[in-house]
A and B are shown apart, each in its own frame.
Chain A
Amino acid sequence: MRRLLLILACLTAFAGPAIAADPSEMLKDPALESRAQHLGKELRCLVCQSESIEDSNADLARDLRVIVRERIQSGESDDQVMQYVVDRYGDYVLLRPPFKASTLVLWVGPFALLLAGLAAAAAFYRRRTNAAPPPPPLSAEEKRRLEALLKDHPPS
Protein backbone atom coordinates (compact mmCIF):
# COMPACT_ATOMS: atom_id res chain seq x y z
CA MET A 1 0.00 0.00 0.00
CA ARG A 2 2.74 2.35 0.98
CA ARG A 3 4.62 1.36 -2.12
CA LEU A 4 1.58 2.25 -4.16
CA LEU A 5 1.35 5.59 -2.42
CA LEU A 6 4.99 6.24 -3.13
CA ILE A 7 4.49 5.45 -6.77
CA LEU A 8 1.45 7.72 -6.85
CA ALA A 9 3.40 10.45 -5.15
CA CYS A 10 6.10 10.07 -7.72
CA LEU A 11 3.73 10.07 -10.62
CA THR A 12 2.09 13.25 -9.47
CA ALA A 13 5.43 14.79 -8.70
CA PHE A 14 6.59 13.80 -12.13
CA ALA A 15 3.39 14.92 -13.74
CA GLY A 16 3.49 18.33 -12.18
CA PRO A 17 7.00 19.46 -12.78
CA ALA A 18 5.55 22.86 -13.54
CA ILE A 19 7.54 25.04 -11.25
CA ALA A 20 9.63 23.24 -8.72
CA ALA A 21 11.97 26.00 -7.66
CA ASP A 22 9.52 28.63 -6.54
CA PRO A 23 10.76 32.21 -6.87
CA SER A 24 10.11 32.68 -3.14
CA GLU A 25 12.64 29.94 -2.36
CA MET A 26 15.40 31.50 -4.37
CA LEU A 27 18.28 33.38 -2.82
CA LYS A 28 18.69 37.06 -3.61
CA ASP A 29 22.41 36.75 -4.23
CA PRO A 30 22.80 35.21 -7.71
CA ALA A 31 26.20 33.72 -6.86
CA LEU A 32 24.79 31.89 -3.83
CA GLU A 33 21.68 30.86 -5.78
CA SER A 34 23.78 29.38 -8.54
CA ARG A 35 25.79 27.45 -5.95
CA ALA A 36 22.54 26.18 -4.46
CA GLN A 37 21.25 25.10 -7.86
CA HIS A 38 24.48 23.34 -8.59
CA LEU A 39 24.31 21.41 -5.31
CA GLY A 40 20.61 20.70 -5.84
CA LYS A 41 21.37 19.06 -9.18
CA GLU A 42 23.72 16.66 -7.43
CA LEU A 43 21.19 15.60 -4.80
CA ARG A 44 18.60 12.96 -5.46
CA CYS A 45 14.96 13.49 -4.61
CA LEU A 46 14.14 10.73 -2.12
CA VAL A 47 10.47 10.40 -2.87
CA CYS A 48 10.77 10.17 -6.64
CA GLN A 49 14.15 8.55 -6.71
CA SER A 50 15.13 9.37 -10.24
CA GLU A 51 15.20 13.14 -10.26
CA SER A 52 17.37 15.69 -8.55
CA ILE A 53 15.79 17.82 -5.83
CA GLU A 54 16.20 20.79 -8.13
CA ASP A 55 13.96 19.14 -10.75
CA SER A 56 11.39 17.64 -8.43
CA ASN A 57 8.07 18.94 -7.28
CA ALA A 58 7.82 16.67 -4.24
CA ASP A 59 7.38 18.37 -0.85
CA LEU A 60 10.45 16.73 0.65
CA ALA A 61 12.54 17.94 -2.30
CA ARG A 62 11.23 21.44 -1.71
CA ASP A 63 12.18 21.26 1.98
CA LEU A 64 15.65 20.08 1.11
CA ARG A 65 16.03 22.91 -1.39
CA VAL A 66 15.08 25.38 1.30
CA ILE A 67 17.50 23.85 3.81
CA VAL A 68 20.35 23.73 1.29
CA ARG A 69 19.82 27.43 0.62
CA GLU A 70 19.68 28.27 4.33
CA ARG A 71 22.94 26.53 4.97
CA ILE A 72 24.63 28.18 2.03
CA GLN A 73 23.43 31.54 3.23
CA SER A 74 24.73 30.85 6.73
CA GLY A 75 28.20 30.62 5.16
CA GLU A 76 28.74 26.86 4.94
CA SER A 77 30.96 25.49 2.19
CA ASP A 78 29.57 23.22 -0.54
CA ASP A 79 31.18 20.20 1.12
CA GLN A 80 29.62 21.03 4.47
CA VAL A 81 26.16 21.32 2.92
CA MET A 82 26.54 18.02 1.08
CA GLN A 83 27.82 16.38 4.27
CA TYR A 84 24.77 17.64 6.13
CA VAL A 85 22.45 15.83 3.71
CA VAL A 86 24.62 12.69 3.49
CA ASP A 87 24.67 12.43 7.31
CA ARG A 88 20.89 12.12 7.23
CA TYR A 89 20.26 10.09 4.09
CA GLY A 90 23.50 8.33 3.28
CA ASP A 91 25.41 8.18 0.00
CA TYR A 92 22.16 7.27 -1.71
CA VAL A 93 21.26 10.95 -2.11
CA LEU A 94 24.37 11.67 -4.13
CA LEU A 95 23.69 11.50 -7.86
CA ARG A 96 27.46 11.48 -8.35
CA PRO A 97 28.45 8.49 -6.24
CA PRO A 98 31.50 9.20 -4.03
CA PHE A 99 34.72 7.47 -5.01
CA LYS A 100 35.23 4.69 -2.47
CA ALA A 101 35.76 0.94 -2.29
CA SER A 102 32.12 0.13 -3.03
CA THR A 103 32.04 2.31 -6.15
CA LEU A 104 35.51 1.47 -7.40
CA VAL A 105 34.16 -0.73 -10.19
CA LEU A 106 31.78 2.00 -11.27
CA TRP A 107 34.41 4.70 -11.55
CA VAL A 108 37.32 2.62 -12.80
CA GLY A 109 35.23 0.24 -14.92
CA PRO A 110 34.77 2.48 -17.97
CA PHE A 111 38.48 3.23 -18.23
CA ALA A 112 39.36 -0.42 -17.64
CA LEU A 113 36.93 -1.29 -20.44
CA LEU A 114 38.60 1.20 -22.74
CA LEU A 115 42.06 -0.15 -21.94
CA ALA A 116 40.87 -3.72 -22.43
CA GLY A 117 39.37 -2.75 -25.79
CA LEU A 118 42.55 -1.03 -26.92
CA ALA A 119 44.66 -3.96 -25.70
CA ALA A 120 42.41 -6.38 -27.60
CA ALA A 121 42.79 -4.26 -30.74
CA ALA A 122 46.59 -4.18 -30.26
CA ALA A 123 46.71 -7.96 -29.84
CA PHE A 124 44.59 -8.30 -32.96
CA TYR A 125 47.02 -6.17 -34.95
CA ARG A 126 50.04 -8.07 -33.63
CA ARG A 127 48.51 -11.35 -34.70
CA ARG A 128 47.63 -9.96 -38.07
CA THR A 129 51.09 -8.58 -38.79
CA ASN A 130 52.69 -11.82 -37.63
CA ALA A 131 50.31 -13.86 -39.75
CA ALA A 132 50.82 -11.84 -42.89
CA PRO A 133 54.18 -10.14 -43.34
CA PRO A 134 53.73 -6.81 -45.07
CA PRO A 135 54.53 -6.83 -48.77
CA PRO A 136 57.88 -5.19 -49.57
CA PRO A 137 57.74 -1.51 -50.46
CA LEU A 138 57.40 -0.58 -54.13
CA SER A 139 60.61 -0.44 -56.07
CA ALA A 140 61.53 2.69 -58.00
CA GLU A 141 60.47 1.02 -61.22
CA GLU A 142 57.08 0.03 -59.79
CA LYS A 143 56.51 3.51 -58.46
CA ARG A 144 57.15 5.02 -61.84
CA ARG A 145 54.74 2.62 -63.53
CA LEU A 146 52.09 3.33 -60.89
CA GLU A 147 52.42 7.06 -61.42
CA ALA A 148 52.15 6.64 -65.14
CA LEU A 149 49.03 4.54 -64.72
CA LEU A 150 47.48 7.03 -62.33
CA LYS A 151 48.10 9.83 -64.77
CA ASP A 152 46.19 8.00 -67.45
CA HIS A 153 43.36 6.83 -65.22
CA PRO A 154 42.93 9.08 -62.17
CA PRO A 155 41.20 7.14 -59.37
CA SER A 156 37.61 8.15 -58.87
Chain B
Amino acid sequence: MRRLLYLLPVAVFAVLALFFLRGLSLNPRDLPSVLIDRPVPEMALPPLPGRGPDTGLATADLKGRVSLVNIFGSWCIACVQEHPFLMRIKQSGAVPIHGIDWRDDPAEGAKWLKKNGDPYERVGADPAPGRAAIDFGVTGAPETFIVDKAGIIRYKHIGPVTREAWDKTLLPIIRELETK
Protein backbone atom coordinates (compact mmCIF):
# COMPACT_ATOMS: atom_id res chain seq x y z
CA MET B 1 0.00 0.00 0.00
CA ARG B 2 2.71 2.48 0.95
CA ARG B 3 4.70 1.51 -2.11
CA LEU B 4 1.69 2.32 -4.26
CA LEU B 5 1.71 5.82 -2.83
CA TYR B 6 5.17 6.32 -4.30
CA LEU B 7 3.73 5.48 -7.71
CA LEU B 8 1.22 8.33 -7.42
CA PRO B 9 3.51 11.04 -8.89
CA VAL B 10 4.34 9.02 -11.97
CA ALA B 11 0.67 8.13 -12.42
CA VAL B 12 -0.44 11.76 -12.18
CA PHE B 13 2.31 12.75 -14.56
CA ALA B 14 1.31 10.06 -17.07
CA VAL B 15 -2.25 11.39 -17.12
CA LEU B 16 -0.97 14.95 -17.59
CA ALA B 17 1.32 13.84 -20.41
CA LEU B 18 -1.60 12.19 -22.21
CA PHE B 19 -3.55 15.43 -21.96
CA PHE B 20 -0.60 17.37 -23.33
CA LEU B 21 -0.26 14.97 -26.22
CA ARG B 22 -3.93 15.43 -27.01
CA GLY B 23 -3.56 19.17 -26.54
CA LEU B 24 -0.92 19.39 -29.27
CA SER B 25 -3.53 18.41 -31.84
CA LEU B 26 -6.26 20.65 -30.41
CA ASN B 27 -6.52 24.30 -31.22
CA PRO B 28 -7.52 26.29 -28.15
CA ARG B 29 -8.67 29.06 -30.45
CA ASP B 30 -11.36 26.96 -32.18
CA LEU B 31 -14.63 28.09 -30.73
CA PRO B 32 -17.77 26.07 -31.42
CA SER B 33 -20.92 28.14 -31.84
CA VAL B 34 -23.66 27.86 -29.24
CA LEU B 35 -26.25 28.86 -31.84
CA ILE B 36 -26.27 25.57 -33.73
CA ASP B 37 -29.82 24.14 -33.87
CA ARG B 38 -31.27 27.38 -32.60
CA PRO B 39 -33.50 29.71 -34.62
CA VAL B 40 -31.94 32.67 -36.39
CA PRO B 41 -31.85 35.63 -33.98
CA GLU B 42 -34.48 38.35 -34.28
CA MET B 43 -33.27 41.07 -36.64
CA ALA B 44 -34.56 43.57 -39.16
CA LEU B 45 -31.53 45.14 -40.80
CA PRO B 46 -31.86 48.02 -43.30
CA PRO B 47 -30.52 47.58 -46.85
CA LEU B 48 -27.22 49.02 -48.08
CA PRO B 49 -27.62 52.29 -50.01
CA GLY B 50 -28.17 51.75 -53.74
CA ARG B 51 -29.14 48.07 -53.47
CA GLY B 52 -32.85 48.69 -53.83
CA PRO B 53 -35.58 49.30 -51.25
CA ASP B 54 -36.52 45.75 -50.18
CA THR B 55 -33.07 44.18 -49.98
CA GLY B 56 -32.41 44.44 -46.22
CA LEU B 57 -32.22 41.33 -44.06
CA ALA B 58 -34.86 40.28 -41.54
CA THR B 59 -35.43 37.04 -39.65
CA ALA B 60 -38.49 36.16 -41.74
CA ASP B 61 -36.40 36.34 -44.94
CA LEU B 62 -34.50 33.23 -43.84
CA LYS B 63 -37.50 30.93 -43.78
CA GLY B 64 -38.74 28.66 -46.57
CA ARG B 65 -35.39 27.90 -48.23
CA VAL B 66 -32.00 26.65 -47.16
CA SER B 67 -29.68 29.67 -47.26
CA LEU B 68 -26.27 30.98 -46.28
CA VAL B 69 -25.70 33.99 -44.06
CA ASN B 70 -22.26 35.48 -44.56
CA ILE B 71 -20.82 38.06 -42.18
CA PHE B 72 -18.43 40.41 -43.95
CA GLY B 73 -17.17 43.98 -43.95
CA SER B 74 -15.33 46.26 -46.32
CA TRP B 75 -12.51 46.53 -43.75
CA CYS B 76 -11.95 42.79 -43.60
CA ILE B 77 -8.88 41.47 -45.41
CA ALA B 78 -9.83 37.80 -45.38
CA CYS B 79 -13.23 38.68 -46.93
CA VAL B 80 -11.46 39.90 -50.07
CA GLN B 81 -9.77 36.54 -50.27
CA GLU B 82 -13.09 34.72 -49.86
CA HIS B 83 -15.15 36.89 -52.18
CA PRO B 84 -14.43 35.32 -55.59
CA PHE B 85 -15.58 31.97 -54.27
CA LEU B 86 -18.87 33.43 -53.02
CA MET B 87 -19.35 34.86 -56.53
CA ARG B 88 -18.91 31.35 -57.91
CA ILE B 89 -21.48 29.91 -55.53
CA LYS B 90 -23.88 32.58 -56.68
CA GLN B 91 -23.22 31.70 -60.34
CA SER B 92 -23.75 28.00 -59.65
CA GLY B 93 -27.12 28.87 -58.11
CA ALA B 94 -26.55 26.23 -55.44
CA VAL B 95 -27.96 28.23 -52.58
CA PRO B 96 -28.98 31.83 -51.94
CA ILE B 97 -26.41 33.86 -49.97
CA HIS B 98 -27.39 36.70 -47.67
CA GLY B 99 -24.90 39.09 -46.18
CA ILE B 100 -24.50 41.03 -42.95
CA ASP B 101 -22.26 44.04 -43.48
CA TRP B 102 -20.71 44.04 -40.03
CA ARG B 103 -19.13 47.03 -38.25
CA ASP B 104 -19.11 48.99 -41.44
CA ASP B 105 -20.28 52.26 -42.86
CA PRO B 106 -23.15 51.05 -45.13
CA ALA B 107 -21.93 53.34 -47.92
CA GLU B 108 -18.46 51.77 -47.71
CA GLY B 109 -20.01 48.32 -47.79
CA ALA B 110 -22.02 49.19 -50.89
CA LYS B 111 -18.92 50.60 -52.60
CA TRP B 112 -16.95 47.47 -51.74
CA LEU B 113 -19.67 45.24 -53.28
CA LYS B 114 -19.72 47.37 -56.41
CA LYS B 115 -15.97 46.95 -56.77
CA ASN B 116 -15.67 43.25 -55.92
CA GLY B 117 -19.00 41.95 -57.18
CA ASP B 118 -22.22 41.31 -55.29
CA PRO B 119 -22.98 37.65 -54.52
CA TYR B 120 -25.77 38.43 -52.07
CA GLU B 121 -29.52 38.24 -52.43
CA ARG B 122 -30.19 40.33 -49.34
CA VAL B 123 -27.66 42.37 -47.36
CA GLY B 124 -28.40 43.91 -43.97
CA ALA B 125 -26.34 46.82 -42.70
CA ASP B 126 -25.08 46.24 -39.16
CA PRO B 127 -22.86 49.16 -38.21
CA ALA B 128 -20.94 49.28 -34.89
CA PRO B 129 -21.59 47.98 -32.30
CA GLY B 130 -22.82 45.23 -34.60
CA ARG B 131 -25.77 43.98 -32.59
CA ALA B 132 -27.04 41.51 -35.21
CA ALA B 133 -23.60 39.98 -35.70
CA ILE B 134 -23.17 39.64 -31.95
CA ASP B 135 -26.60 37.96 -31.81
CA PHE B 136 -25.05 35.45 -34.22
CA GLY B 137 -22.13 35.02 -31.82
CA VAL B 138 -19.60 36.50 -34.21
CA THR B 139 -15.89 36.32 -33.30
CA GLY B 140 -14.46 37.71 -36.52
CA ALA B 141 -15.12 38.16 -40.22
CA PRO B 142 -15.76 36.31 -42.40
CA GLU B 143 -18.10 33.80 -40.85
CA THR B 144 -20.75 31.82 -42.70
CA PHE B 145 -23.88 30.18 -41.29
CA ILE B 146 -26.09 27.56 -42.94
CA VAL B 147 -29.77 28.16 -42.15
CA ASP B 148 -32.39 25.49 -42.92
CA LYS B 149 -35.89 25.90 -44.33
CA ALA B 150 -37.42 26.44 -40.91
CA GLY B 151 -34.98 29.25 -40.17
CA ILE B 152 -32.82 27.18 -37.80
CA ILE B 153 -29.03 27.64 -37.80
CA ARG B 154 -27.42 24.30 -38.64
CA TYR B 155 -23.75 25.01 -39.21
CA LYS B 156 -21.14 27.72 -38.72
CA HIS B 157 -18.01 28.07 -40.78
CA ILE B 158 -15.25 30.29 -39.40
CA GLY B 159 -12.91 32.02 -41.83
CA PRO B 160 -13.01 32.25 -45.61
CA VAL B 161 -15.11 29.62 -47.41
CA THR B 162 -12.61 27.72 -49.55
CA ARG B 163 -13.27 25.26 -52.36
CA GLU B 164 -12.17 22.44 -50.08
CA ALA B 165 -14.45 23.45 -47.19
CA TRP B 166 -17.31 23.93 -49.62
CA ASP B 167 -16.98 20.55 -51.34
CA LYS B 168 -16.23 18.56 -48.21
CA THR B 169 -18.45 20.15 -45.60
CA LEU B 170 -20.77 22.96 -46.56
CA LEU B 171 -22.31 21.62 -49.77
CA PRO B 172 -23.11 18.13 -48.38
CA ILE B 173 -24.86 19.74 -45.39
CA ILE B 174 -26.86 22.02 -47.68
CA ARG B 175 -27.86 19.09 -49.93
CA GLU B 176 -29.01 17.09 -46.95
CA LEU B 177 -31.01 19.96 -45.47
CA GLU B 178 -32.70 20.53 -48.83
CA THR B 179 -34.08 16.97 -48.87
CA LYS B 180 -35.75 17.41 -45.50
Contacts and interface: CB of A to CB of B under 8 A. Distances in A.
Interface of A: 1-3, 5-6, 9, 46-47, 49, 59-60, 62-64, 66-67, 87-90, 92
Nearest to A89: B137
B159 A2 contact: yes
A149 to B, nearest CB: 41
Given A2-B78, A6-B140, A90-B34, A66 B29 contact: no
B34 A6 contact: no
B158 interface: yes
Nearest to A9: B140
A63 B103 contact: yes
Given A63-B103, A88-B135, 6 more contacts: A1-B78, A3-B27, A46-B139, A60-B140, A63-B128, A90-B34
Contacts of A67: 129, 131, 134
A59 B103 contact: yes
A5 B139 contact: no
B173 interface: no
Chain B facing A: main interface SS: loop
Interface of B: 27-29, 31-32, 34-35, 77-78, 81, 103, 128-131, 134-140, 158-160
Contacts of B158: 2
Contacts of A47: 139-140
Given A1-B78, A46-B31, A67-B134, A60 B159 contact: no
A88 B34 contact: yes
A154 B154 CA distance: 84
A89 B136 CA distance: 9
Looking at A3, A89, A92, the one whose CB has the most chain B CB atoms below 10 A away is A89
Contacts of B160: 1-2
Contact of B129 (A1, A3, A63, A90): A63
Contacts of A2: 78, 140, 158-160
Nearest to A8: B77
Given A63-B128, A89-B34, A3 B137 contact: no
Contacts of A60: 130, 134, 138-140
